[in-house]
Amino acid sequence: MSLRERVYARTDRPMSWTKAILLGTLIWIVGILLLGQLPSIIIYWNDQNIASIIEFTQKIPGVGDAGLNTIQINMLRDIVANAVQMGILTVMLVAAYIWQERKRKRTGTKGHQDTVKGYMAGK
């Protein structure tokens, strides 16, 4: 049995509540670190190295001899930090969607089903 088949055999089985809670907690911790801490690291690194960033921007064609000022650098810092954060969030959401769609096709399930149908009048 290949590694992929072993992974699928394990992940396609129903999950207990304990495993679901532990996996959800692990995903939450990774999400907090990637979506919260990584942009913060980018911001703090930029603030600590502002002089070297100004020096670097002096060498960019089209920028004046003085380089970018601190307000412009802070704007670029925020753009980069937000782009990293939104990029990671988008990758996480797309990966979860693709994983679920592949699992749905592998296991032969039909997708979302209305579980309330039959229990309420008019449905």
Is the separation of the CB atoms in 91 and 57 below 8 Å?
A: no
Residue 34: which of 89, 93, 79 has the closest Cα? 89
Calpha distance 98→12 (Å, rounded): 15
Q: How many CA atoms lie within 13 A of 42 on its CB side?
A: 20
| Residue 85 pLDDT level (bands cut at 50, 70, 90) | very high
| Residue 2 pLDDT level (bands cut at 50, 70, 90) | confident
| Residue 93 pLDDT level (bands cut at 50, 70, 90) | very high
